[in-house]
């Protein structure tokens, strides 16, 4: 979550309560900047030194794969539904674990979107 698009709830606790009320099972990260001089470190990493600003937090998705200390970042702008990235994610998983092995979890594969660890006290 970020307050940079004038749509987010005011506090980290309010954001956490809202998404849990929607049935979300993922970790809720604390609010942080995704653009500008105070961009949180994860988004600096995801966007890179010359990457464009995130225009709206719901339409930019990042798919990150890491192996042997090297990460490949795939940025998808203008994507409303996380499901629209399903083909990309499935292809990456197939290349890592092969077909017919749905429970395998290669140690070097990390897919996700994140910012700072949750800290409700702030």
pTM value? 0.65
Residue 61 has pLDDT above 60, yes or no: yes
Q: Which comes out higher in pLDDT, residue 38 or 58?
A: 38
69-79 pLDDT, tens digit each: 788 888 888 87
18-31 pLDDT, tens digit each: 888 988 887 777 88
Spatial separation of the C-alpha atoms in residues 28 and 99, rounded to whole Å? 31
Interval 42-48 mean pLDDT: 88
Spatial separation of the C-alpha atoms in residues 120 and 30, rounded to whole Å? 7
Average pLDDT, the chain: 76
DSSP codes of every residue in 53-93: PPS-TTTEEEEEEEETTEEEEEEEES---GGGGHHHHHHHH
Q: Which comes out higher in pLDDT, residue 4 or 99?
A: 4
Interval 58-73 mean pLDDT: 84
Note every long-range contact of 117-121, with CB atoms under 8 Å and residues 24 or more positions apart, other chains counting: 117/29, 117/30, 118/12, 118/16, 118/27, 118/28, 118/29, 118/30, 119/12, 119/30, 120/12, 120/13, 120/16, 120/30
CB 42 within 8 A of CB 116: yes
């Amino acid at each position: 979550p970020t307050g940079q698009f004038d749509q987010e709830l005011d506090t980290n606790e309010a954001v956490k309560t809202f998404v849990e009320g929607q049935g979300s099972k993922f970790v809720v990260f604390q609010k942080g900047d995704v653009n500008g001089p105070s961009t949180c470190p994860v988004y600096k990493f995801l966007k890179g030194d010359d990457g464009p600003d995130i225009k709206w937090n719901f339409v930019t998705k990042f798919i990150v794969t890491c192996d042997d200390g090297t990460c490949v970042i795939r940025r998808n702008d203008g994507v409303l539904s996380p499901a629209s990235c399903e083909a990309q994610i499935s292809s990456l998983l197939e290349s890592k674990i092969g077909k017919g092995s749905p429970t395998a979890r290669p140690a070097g594969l990390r897919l996700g979107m994140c910012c700072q660890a949750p800290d409700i006290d702030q």
